[in-house]
Amino acid sequence: MTQRCGFVAIIGRPNVGKSTLMNRILGQKISITSRRPQTTRHQVMGIKTEGDDQFIYVDTPGMHIMSKDRNKAINRFMNQAATHALRDVNCVVLIIDRTRWTAEDQAVLDKLTHVKAPVVLAINKVDWLEDKAALLPWLEEVGAKRDFAAILPLSAKHGTNVDALEEEVAKHLPESIHFFPEDQVTNKSQRFLAAELVREKVMRQLGDELPYQMTVEIEEFRDEGRVIHISALMLVERPGQKKILIGENGDRIKKIGREARLEMESALGAKVMLNLWVKVKRGWSDDDRALKSLGYDLD
C-alpha cells in the first residue's frame, strides 16, 4: 500500500472549538481548553497515524481583529502563529460556531484568499442549535462565501460527525512517507504540556477576574522515574493580579496546583510533585524579547 502523509491546519476565530476538535480526533488531550477566548497561544501539532495514513493536525490560536484592548505583542504573536500555520499545508479546516458569522469569521476567511490548499468548513456546536431547521438554509448561505471542498456540521465536544470530517481530510493527503513515528501524538514536550495545564486551570478558575497578562514558565522538570518534580512560575503584570491568583490564605493557588497536578499525573503516567509560585513581571505581554524568552517563538 502507498503511504500518505499531510499537514492539516485547524483555524478559526477565538473560542469556536479548535482545540476541542483536535483533542477529539486524537482521542486524548493535547491542547488545553477553556470557555475563555484565546486559550490556545501556540501552534500545537497533533499527530494521528492510521495504517498507511498519517495526519498532522496543527491547532492554532484564534485569529482575531486587533483592537485597543488587543494590541499587544502577544496578540500580534497569536495572529502570526495562526497565519504561519497556513503555509505549505495540504488541507485547511475552518471552524465556525453554529449559524453565527462575525466580522472575525470574515477576517479569517479573507486570510484564506491566497491559500491554494482545499478548505473544509466545519460548523461546530450544532448540538446546541435550538432550531435545527435553520441549519439547511445556513449551509447554502455560508457555502456561497467560498468554494469549499466540503461543508460539515459537527459537534467536536460530543464527536458527532467528526469521523466524516476525518474521511474528508483523508482525501487531501498526498502520497508521502510518514514524518513521525506511528506512536508519536504531538511535537510538544512534557515540559510544555505541564506549563499549559497550569495555565488552563488558572483560566478555568478565574474566568474574567484575571486578564490575559498571565503566563506560565517551567523552572524545573526533573523526571526520577516514578516521580516527576515540577516547579512552575506563574507570571503576571501587576501586584493586584498576583493577589487574585494566590487567593485568600493561598486557597486559590492551592486549588490550581491540586487540579493541575492530578491532570499531569494522568497525562504523564507518574506521580507529580508540583510547586507553584507567582511573580510580577511588568509588561511581559507587550515585550517581544520577553515573549521569545518565555517560549513564544514561531520557530
Look at residue 246 in the predicted model and tell me its pLDDT. Answer: 94
Look at residue 211 in the predicted model and tell me its pLDDT. Answer: 61
Using one digit for the tens of pLDDT, what is the confidence trace for 49-92?
999 999 999 988 777 666 655 667 888 877 787 788 788 899 99
pTM for this predicted structure: 0.87
Look at residue 298 in the predicted model and tell me its pLDDT. Answer: 67
Give me the residue label for grid cell 497578562: 213
Element (H or E) spanning 80, and its range?
Answer: helix 73-84
Q: Which residues fall within 8 angstroms of residue 68, CB to CB, at 6 or more apart?
A: none
**Residue 103 pLDDT level (bands cut at 50, 70, 90):** very high
Cα separation, 197 vs 263, in Å, equals 8
Q: Kindly tell me the burial class for residue 154, based on how many C-beta atoms sit within 10 Å of its own C-beta (0-12, 13-18, 19 or more).
A: buried
Letter for the amino acid at 210? L
Q: In this structure, how many other beta carbons lie within 10 angstroms of the beta carbon of residue 210?
A: 18
Cα separation, 16 vs 229, in Å, equals 35
Grid cell at residue 26 = 486524537
- Angle, vertex CA 136, rays to CA 118 and CA 59, nearest 5: 35
Q: From residue 146, give the alpha-carbon distance in Å to each of 61, 100, 141, 227, 254.
A: 22, 16, 10, 52, 49
Percent of the chain topping pLDDT 70: 94
* Domains of the chain, start order: 4-170 (3.40.50.300), 190-293 (3.30.300.20)
Grid cell at residue 188 = 510538544
Q: From residue 225, give the alpha-carbon distance in Å to each of 181, 197, 222, 276.
A: 23, 20, 9, 21
Cα separation, 292 vs 90, in Å, equals 29
Look at residue 55 in the predicted model and tell me its pLDDT. Answer: 97
Using one digit for the tens of pLDDT, what is the confidence trace for 161-185?
999 999 999 999 999 999 999 999 9
Number of continuous H segments (helices) and E segments (strands) in the chain:
9, 9
Cα separation, 269 vs 171, in Å, equals 35
